[in-house]
Amino acid sequence: MRIGVAATAPLGADVLERLAENHDVAWLVTRPDAPRGRGRKLAPPPAKEIAVQLGIPVHQPEQPELPAGVERVVVCAYGLYIPPRLLAQSLWLNVHPSLLPRWRGAAPVERAILAGDDETGVTIHETVEALDAGPIAAQEAFPIDDLDAGAVFERSAEVAGRLLEAVIESPTFVPQPEAGATYAEKITPADRELDLDDPLGSWRRVRALSPHIGAWTTMHGRRVTIWRARLVDGQFVPELVQPEGRGKMTYDEFVRGLR
């Protein structure tokens, strides 16, 4: 079975690599190269990097297109709307890192952690015109515990790879319920600011935005991004921080540098 993949972000790159182990991946459709990092140099998306390593043809249209006919298209963290005319050309299976219908939308992992959900998971569903609303082929839950978003994405990729193996050739769908649907809005600049008067909320925010976005606050008169923290007896304790204009360091190193 020839499979196409539409993916951009690290989760999509991970799922692409797992699919390629057992399937003939005909092509990758991904977003165009974009500026990244402090120098804002043009860089390929993570999914493209994996595809190049594996020798998979890469296509980077401004708007999604099917480069060639395939029996399945797996969509994972692609980031662009798939129009109905393309959905009609193949069976599209979307990998969504939440327990749909909870957290449809752009930032399901981050929103689940911010909300204090006990568990999340992965849903494989048919891509339809409505956002993340297609019938479900497979779903599996796992606990969030004290994981950060990076660890949840890693676990999601492992679960997704296993679920796809079970359903990609002969999926059986059940309708997705509308009851309980919630929407995971994109992370905005306002979502990144910590309220240190809310220790539990701050701990969740740091975990939700690490290691890919970063939550910040002002400490000792300086803006500081906090990449890792813990909750001790109800108190928020920073562990890994990055003062503005500096590299990452432990919180103890940051405090020593102030003296």
Same domain, 208 and 174: no
How many distinct structural domains can be found in the chain?
Answer: 2
Residue-by-residue DSSP string for 125-151:
EE--SSTT-SPEEEEEEEE-TT--HHH
This prediction has a pTM of 0.95
Element holding 239 (H helix, E strand): strand 235-243
Same domain, 31 and 100: yes
Same domain, 91 and 201: no
Same domain, 237 and 129: no
Distance CA 63, CA 88 (A): 16
175 lies in which domain range?
A: 2-184
Q: What is the pLDDT along the chain (259 residues), one digit of tens a residue?
A: 899 999 999 999 999 999 999 999 999 999 999 988 777 889 999 999 999 999 999 999 999 999 999 999 999 999 999 999 999 999 999 999 999 999 999 999 999 999 999 999 999 999 999 999 999 999 999 999 999 999 999 999 999 999 999 999 999 999 999 999 999 999 999 999 999 999 999 999 999 999 999 999 999 899 999 999 999 999 999 999 999 989 999 999 999 988 6
Distance CA 48, CA 50 (A): 5
**CATH assignment at residue 6:** 3.40.50.170
Distance CA 209, CA 216 (A): 10
| Residue finishing a domain among 129, 149, 184 | 184
Same domain, 136 and 62: yes
| Residue finishing a domain among 184, 216, 249 | 184
Contact between 224 and 216 under an 8 Å Cβ cutoff? The reply is yes
**CATH assignment at residue 204:** 3.10.25.10
pLDDT at 257: 84
Same domain, 59 and 174: yes
Same domain, 86 and 212: no
| Residue finishing a domain among 151, 184, 217 | 184
Same domain, 86 and 173: yes
Residue-by-residue DSSP string for 78-96:
--S---HHHHTTSEEEEEE
Same domain, 67 and 154: yes
Same domain, 29 and 143: yes
